[in-house]
């Protein structure tokens, strides 16, 4: 079965390092992702005739995820889904952050958002559930994050909604990134809700630097170093105190030193 690639979509070339599925299957999956974006452009339920005119005139661009993900000229949701679909078949790995090493559910989401939208979401599913705004089940649109209780606690699993009741996610150890159906009893019973993330809310809740560890290292180096003494080793000097108290402490230390010299 062949899928026509919608106009405007480009098919990314898979990395040589990641070979989880055959090229033909991956390209078909990418084409399917593009088709789903266009298919979901219209609402799942058509409005009644009486409300059609009012609803169309009252449409607010602020509720349109495409305009909120990135600049108007960018097909941000399409890029997001294509990036996600390009990782189909990558192995699940707990704590994984890259396709080469494997990805867990939140690592997969974070990688996709960073690569397609240049925004770093929080690292865990529970933290991601606090970003953006809540979306009802009947209002889901491609690009929304869908959450599940799979470990006995809320928001312990996350995926990306693709449209037509499908979502893409990294399931669990021993499985690969795949597309699943929200209507399956397993996912229906564990569904926790959805969030619509836009660039502004993501920036407020997440670090947008490419290397989060750099900022963490900078913060730790800026903090005063406590003195540490080990038997047989020289003590590491603590940072000098600041202000009036610091000046008094320095004077007291000097006076003690003079007294000790007098005793010798």
105 is catalytic: yes
User: Could you tell me which residues come within 8 angstroms of residue 94 by beta carbon, excluding any fewer than 6 positions away?
Assistant: 104, 173
Residues found in the chain: 264
In order of 103, 131, 179, 228, 258, the CA distances from 93 in angstroms are 5, 24, 17, 38, 63
C-alpha 146/C-alpha 191 separation (Å) is 8
The active-site residue, picked from 105, 229, 235, 264, is 105
- Is 169 considered catalytic here? yes
Q: How many CA atoms lie within 13 A of 8 on its CB side?
A: 12
Expressed in percent and rounded to 5, the helix, strand and coil fractions of the chain are: 40, 15, 45
Give the CA count within 13 Å in the CB-facing half-sphere of 201: 16
Whether 157 sits among the annotated catalytic residues: the reply is yes
Contacts of 260 (CB under 8 A, 6+ apart): none
Residue in 169, 229, 235, 264 annotated catalytic: 169
The catalytic residues are: 105, 157, 169
């Amino acid at each position: 079965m062949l899928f026509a690639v919608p106009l405007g979509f480009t098919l990314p070339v898979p990395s040589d390092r990641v070979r989880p599925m055959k090229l033909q299957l991956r390209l078909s999956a990418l084409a399917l992702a593009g088709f789903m974006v266009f298919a979901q452009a219209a609402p799942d339920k058509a409005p009644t005739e009486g409300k059609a005119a009012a609803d169309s005139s009252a449409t607010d661009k602020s509720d349109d995820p495409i305009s909120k993900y990135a600049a108007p000229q960018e097909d941000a949701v399409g890029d997001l889904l294509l990036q996600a679909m390009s990782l189909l078949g990558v192995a699940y790995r707990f704590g994984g952050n890259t396709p080469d090493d494997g990805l867990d559910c939140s690592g997969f989401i974070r990688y996709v958002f960073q690569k397609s939208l240049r925004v770093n979401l929080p690292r865990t599913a529970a933290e991601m559930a606090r970003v953006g705004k809540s979306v009802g089940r009947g209002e889901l649109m491609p690009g929304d994050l869908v959450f599940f209780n799979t470990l006995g606690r809320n928001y312990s699993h996350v995926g990306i909604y693709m449209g037509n009741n499908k979502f893409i996610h990294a399931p669990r150890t021993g499985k690969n990134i795949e597309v699943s159906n929200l209507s399956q009893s397993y996912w229906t019973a564990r569904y926790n809700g959805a969030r619509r993330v836009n660039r502004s809310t993501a920036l407020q809740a997440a670090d947008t630097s490419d290397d989060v560890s750099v900022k963490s290292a900078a913060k730790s180096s800026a903090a005063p170093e406590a003195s540490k003494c080990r038997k047989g080793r020289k003590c590491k000097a603590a940072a000098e105190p600041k202000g009036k108290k610091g000046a008094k402490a320095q004077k007291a230390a000097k006076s003690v030193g003079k007294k000790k010299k007098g005793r010798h």
